[in-house]
Amino acid sequence: MRNNRDHFHNAFVLHVRPFRNSSQIVELFTEDAGRVGVVARGASRGKSPLSALLQPFTPLQLSWSGRGELHTLGRVEMREMAYRLPGRRSICGLYANELLMRLLHRGDSHSELFRLYHKLLQELSEGGDEAPLLRSFEVRLLEEIGFGFDLQLDCSGLPILPEQHYGYNPEQGIVPLAENGAQQFTVMGKTLQWLRSTELDVERQILREAKQLLRTAIDYHLPVELESRKLIAQYGALS
């Protein structure tokens, strides 16, 4: 990877935090270099055009220089208008950001995941039901980082059947329920089949099962509680 000021990378901002007295540490998700941390000098000085650009959900092109954990941000340009995620959807976007921040290691390249993330933002900004969009992103994210599960065959090697009940065990994968009585929850085979295509038109029951399954899988790999997920739940409690 060339780290010089003339080489531009496609990127999104995942998180910004203040650093020293007028700088920021910016966590980026880039197309060719995965998650990258950069220092933006002077970005939190008043009226800095940088802090207005370094916002989540904005397709950026930027360069950086230097070696080590934290690079120095070079030039930043807006590639396209920022995706506007109204209301609750912005929390969904922040949830995707939190997943990427906590599950990706710095410097591992994930260009397919970058494309999926970009697509998620675009679809969230266009309206419609956010649940299938999030489930689709979660299942592809787990696959991309090597934590995916087989959605064609159960753990004993038999094809997944739509009307059969299954359980999930992080160590074994998808378990036909007859073999494993003490399960926290069950998913129907058709839910697992839906996760292969994740088309938007889907029954609520399938979405509910998919949510629980993916949540269990994510929690297994992430011992910390996701703050944005807590926030989405608190949202639900408001109305």
**Residues contributing to the site for another protein (CB under 8 A):** 14-15, 17, 20-22, 45-47, 51-57, 82, 85-88, 90-91, 93-95, 97-98, 101, 226-228, 230-231, 234-235, 238-239
11: helix, strand or coil: strand
Hunting for tokens 């910390």 — which residue is that? Answer: 224
Residue-level length of the chain: 239
Distances (CA, A) of 61 to 54, 77, 167, 223: 11, 5, 43, 33
In the chain, how many H helices and how many E strands?
7, 8
Q: How near is the Cβ of 117 to another protein at its closest, in Å?
A: 15
Q: How near is the Cβ of 143 to another protein at its closest, in Å?
A: 24
Question: Closer CB to another protein, residue 109 or residue 228?
Answer: 228
Hunting for tokens 């359980």 — which residue is that? Answer: 167
Question: Closer CB to another protein, residue 52 or residue 178?
Answer: 52
Q: How near is the Cβ of 96 to another protein at its closest, in Å?
A: 11
Question: Closer CB to another protein, residue 20 or residue 106?
Answer: 20
For 198, half-sphere exposure in the C-beta direction (CA atoms, 13 angstrom radius) is: 19
Question: Closer CB to another protein, residue 61 or residue 172?
Answer: 61
